[in-house]
Structure 1
């Protein structure tokens, strides 16, 4: 059998390293996100809570509606570090009739109804602006009451502020719709032509075509998951208040993604990731009032919700974000230049955690070894696998991954 392996020029090698990095990062995301079973369990839990609220004898609950918000709704949830439970955020939407109660009384009314359920009572905990059901070892459900915001043209909501004295504007359903619209955008790629030229270097080689459709996740959701994971590792031993909150990472990534997709053409999905990370700070508004910096990262779907409002009270949180952003950008940039499995594994482990990266690399190495035994593997730069044409019918090619979803 001809075992000739194509000689790759430097630019080709770098492209394959980028695609290999995408394969590792995609599998990392699969490993750290909730399993289908966990998602189904969370869904069952919140639907049960919703039925309990809807069946309340009080008129107030007759038209109430409970719905998920946050990372579970967006599809960007990741496994928390140190064995903590997943955080599932729910909104209990009351009608405008409930606004006469005020935020404190409406929150208490919601809590009283949950308390009436004997199964929920032992696991119910009061939080500053919501009620938490703590399903130990699984996740906790945070249930926040809301009323319609008459001043929001996009169907926004009002939720209690932390001190329960007034209402704060928000719009989770509008935010979700905008995020999904952006996540559906597809980058313009030069990659197909480049990969065809690589395949032409050896007539036996097959390179899986770049997909022209989104999979179950897509690039934007994977980018958000990677950012959140990197943040969690970076701040693992730091003051928790210094960690940039998830909605800031999600908002900046989504806005940067939309901008980059509209303005650039890319060689690979890795370059999409890199440009999005680079562009994130450009969507933070900053001005100076009485020599004091003021920061804004607005919820574009409603008026009056500034995700960076705490930066204006705690300046160290803004400084912490920019410090973290410099590190995540550096970590992503260097991935395309690293060669050697030891260096690559070390870099990925430092950025995203050693345990899952080790698990991913081991699984991929096992697949490659199996492919070699079946005579299906021709080239393996990093983890970019090119399979041979002349293989036994029984052989199974090594699976490949992209941020569009596994092919």
Structure 2
């Protein structure tokens, strides 16, 4: 029986990944507290780790008032575009993309650093107009000039100088707006994956002055659909919610998620850990793993575990498994690293890794080692206060104590670098 691609990747990774860290907790917890081995008790003895990790997750969540301001910004830009573009108002659709749409947006360790909100500006234009991608791109930029928009490779950056965020709007058109001939030219390398072809878009790649396939809605759907698949056995799911972020305008989803939404929480915490590794000079900002790579590897890992019918007793146990498997899902085909976009065939998110002398690969592996080592130290602790303090230190969260917690410089452990997986048939 053939396996799905994600299942095959995970099955291969399971052969080489280290033992799950949480396995060592079970005998200790049962002995310490006289717990049985049923799921109710397991949820109880994982509670200190779950509460500490969830506190970190809550801390890095973007504040409700900032999300509210972002929804207002979306509305402002949407109305501005509708008023200044020559196309009918009902032909313009602005939707979030990236981390804000997948609910994995996080605050930076530096409280003064802006976070970015990505959006796609979709305009339903004619085939004739689509024949001039650069003209279309410049038309959107011209309409945004009063907002001090700056042209990037495929988007327009709007600074919003008085806000804690900036917006990046990517002009796009539905794929069917592009002529069949143009689609034929695009297709050899970038073709929308069949299961996500209905949401495929064409965006302007300004360096080549041509259209390129993109599918942000497809990526969001993939993450959403995968996150809904339950891998936790127990029905005694605890709630750690501390209040929901309010989002009155639909284009910006709320950003508060609970630890039981393990995929999204893992993405958020791992992204934060990466940022702390940059801040502590463990890896460089120029070669750090970009967010889309973390999202893709973790979602593929979660999807593969679900496809293989793997189950876990607690979200902490599942998060541990995701960390252990993640570095082993990287493919190496020939001499090139591959992290494939599941929604656009032929797009390799690790393409830059193959042209930098191995610097990004080494940064990725170094980060994965530190992440595993930090999780190991957290899970080796037994006292709830010690667990909480260590989680705060690892994820760069201030601890309200009289002592000086500070930021510890964390050096990568000297572990053997795991080889990237080979291509799967």
* Residue from 203, 206, 219 that aligns with 2:262: 219
Is the 8 Å Cα contact of residues 299 and 307 (structure 1) preserved in structure 2? yes
Matched with 1:210 is: 237
Is the 8 Å Cα contact of residues 204 and 211 (structure 2) preserved in structure 1? yes
Give the aligned CA root-mean-square deviation in angstroms. Answer: 2.9
Deviates more, 1:41-50 or 1:341-350: 341-350
Aligned positions of 1:145-184 closer than 5 A: 145-149=171-175, 150=183, 151-152=191-192, 153=194, 154=197, 155-161=199-205, 163-184=207-228
For residues 263 and 286 of structure 2, the distance between their equivalents in structure 1, rounded to whole angstroms, comes to 26
Matched with 2:137 is: 107
Matched with 1:374 is: none
Distance 1:158 1:282, change over 3 A: farther
Matched with 1:317 is: 360
Distance 1:21 1:341, change over 3 A: closer
Deviates more, 1:175-184 or 1:256-265: 256-265
Q: 1:346 Cα deviation (Å)? A: 5.1
Q: 1:60 Cα deviation (Å)? A: 7.6
1:286 and 2:293 correspond? no
Q: 1:145 Cα deviation (Å)? A: 1.1
1:126 and 2:154 correspond? no
**Structure 2, unaligned runs of 5 or more:** 1-30, 176-182, 184-190, 245-255, 403-425
Distance 1:127 1:29, change over 3 A: same
Matched with 1:93 is: 122
Is the 8 Å Cα contact of residues 55 and 62 (structure 1) preserved in structure 2? no
Aligned to 1:75, the other structure's residue is in SS state coil
TM-score, scaled relative to structure 2 = 0.70
Is the 8 Å Cα contact of residues 252 and 280 (structure 1) preserved in structure 2? yes
1:253 and 2:298 correspond? yes
Is the 8 Å Cα contact of residues 56 and 391 (structure 2) preserved in structure 1? no
For residues 94 and 304 of structure 1, the distance between their equivalents in structure 2, rounded to whole angstroms, comes to 25
Aligned residues: 327
Q: 1:331 Cα deviation (Å)? A: 1.5
Q: 1:239 Cα deviation (Å)? A: 2.8
Q: 1:42 Cα deviation (Å)? A: 0.7
Matched with 2:231 is: 187
For residues 224 and 85 of structure 2, the distance between their equivalents in structure 1, rounded to whole angstroms, comes to 36
For residues 147 and 304 of structure 1, the distance between their equivalents in structure 2, rounded to whole angstroms, comes to 20
Q: 1:280 Cα deviation (Å)? A: 1.6
For residues 129 and 286 of structure 1, the distance between their equivalents in structure 2, rounded to whole angstroms, comes to 28
Distance 1:224 1:162, change over 3 A: farther
**Structure 1, unaligned runs of 5 or more:** 1-5, 193-208, 363-407
Aligned to 1:188, the other structure's residue is in SS state coil
Q: 1:276 Cα deviation (Å)? A: 1.2
Distance 1:334 1:261, change over 3 A: farther
Matched with 2:341 is: 299
Provide, for residues 233-270 of structure 1, a one-character-per-residue CA deviation record: whole Å limited to 9, x for no partner.
01113531111100110111111112224432222211
For residues 395 and 342 of structure 2, the distance between their equivalents in structure 1, rounded to whole angstroms, comes to 30
Aligned to 2:144, the other structure's residue is in SS state helix
